[in-house]
Chains A and B, each alone.
Chain A
Amino acid sequence: MVDRPLDEHELIERAKRGDASAYEALVRAHQGIAFRTAFLIARDPSDAEEAAQDGFVKAYRALGRFRSGAPFRPWLLQIVANEARNRRRSAGRRANLALRVVDEARPGDAVPSPEAELLSVERRGELLAAVEGLREEERLVVSCRFFLGLSEDETAQTLGLKRGTVKSRTSRALAQLREEVER
């Protein structure tokens, strides 16, 4: 045995054959982005955790249908996003947690990246409020593209949209944000 980490393709092939430890490595590699994706949709930490966990379990059971060589992350995120949407729907009119930006003064918050430090606290609040004011379909596209760092293709697959729809919603959202924050 060569002592090196298995690449994702090998892990998926092993998991397809029922190797739970290979699937565990995949869960650990993707649980952060899966949880954040679910949170951006469900807006509740417990619902997000359940959606991500259920998503991983469903993805495992669906691995037989996963096309070898295809990108795993957006395929997984699409399943997680569906779970999160279902929870959000069943949560009904319950108030959703508003997103907030990291506050250095708040204990437990992460230290912002050097890029984030270039944004004043006021500017961060202003940008987030503008994003929160978008229509949901545009806000989700903006969240996936910019807050999760997904590509256009990944965003399309995660949200179950055509690539062209992602493009048009992104540019419409950016135009509206510009109007809000660049006056």
Chain B
Amino acid sequence: MNLEHELRALPIAFPAEPDLAPGVLARLERPARRWWLAPALVAIAAAGALLAIPQTRAAILDLLRIGGVEVRRVETQPRAPVRPPALGREVSFATAQRTVDFPLLSPRDPFTAYVDEPMVNLRWKRYVLSQWHGEQLAFATKQLGPGSRTVGVSVRGANGLWITGARHEIIYRDPKTDEVVAKTRRLVGNVLIWEDGGITYRLEGARTVADARAVARNLRGP
């Protein structure tokens, strides 16, 4: 074999090829894809009844669901006061770890841990990472205004969703009292949400999807 043939025959070990089609298609069409829709239908009636906020005229245009977060697109956003995020009570990481029954992910940079049961929030630099058992907050909802955009992405090998654009609202249902609790009502900017093994992760504060995914990728895992 001459050198050119040898180079052609050189078996380069490329990483496994990802299937790009779902992510590409999700960005070509309107964001709601059928495969997101099916599991959310069960939750929608209950969630609709649950939300005691003025949204009766807000038609639900489409709906997505990932992990313990249900995403609903609405024509008009309920008027909720913008308040600083309530992260819960500050604790040591070891204490935070004891409040959940799964191994927490954590950043490599110094961070502060907060517990807002059943959620653990870690804050560092401009980021906040929230982690919880998806089932515990099956009704956690996220409402998107007309200006926001969702993109399906893969995060740490799992299905994720990148939400950008207009501010969107997240309302949590307290699993103990069955009520929407004001302290957990938060308005946030860009968010990356992913679900892995029944745990839902939500990362706030990243400016771009590339930044969000890089931060997620660099988290220290179990």
Chain A interface residues toward B at CB < 8 A: 20, 23-24, 27-28, 31-32, 34-36, 39, 45-50, 52-53, 56-57, 60, 87, 90, 99-103, 106, 108-110, 112-113, 115-116, 118-119, 123-124, 127-128, 131, 142, 146-147, 149, 174, 177-178, 181-182
Contacts and interface: CB of A to CB of B under 8 A. Distances in A.
A146 B20 contact: no
Interface string B1-28: 1011111111111111111110111011
B6 A119 contact: yes
Q: Which of B1, B5, B16, B20 has the most CB of A within 10 A?
A: B20
A95 B3 CA distance: 29
A60 B19 contact: no
A60 B24 contact: yes
Interface in B19-42: 19-21, 23-25, 27-29
8 contacts: A27-B25, A35-B18, A36-B14, A50-B210, A101-B10, A102-B12, A146-B8, A178-B3
Nearest to A182: B3
Contacts of A110: 11, 13
B209 interface: yes
Contact of B11 (A24, A32, A112): A112
Contact of A113 (B9, B13, B17, B18): B9
A146 B27 CA distance: 33
Contacts of A181: 3
Contacts of A24: 21, 24-25
B7 A34 contact: no
B213 A146 contact: no
Given A27-B20, A35-B20, A49-B154, A127 B10 contact: yes
B4 A115 contact: no
Nearest to B23: A53
B17 A57 contact: no
A116 B14 contact: no
Contacts of A56: 20, 24
A113 B12 contact: no
A1 to B, nearest CB: 23
Contacts of B8: 115, 146, 149
A35 B28 contact: no
B28 A109 contact: no
Nearest to A28: B21
A113 B3 contact: no
A163 B4 CA distance: 18
A20 B209 CA distance: 23
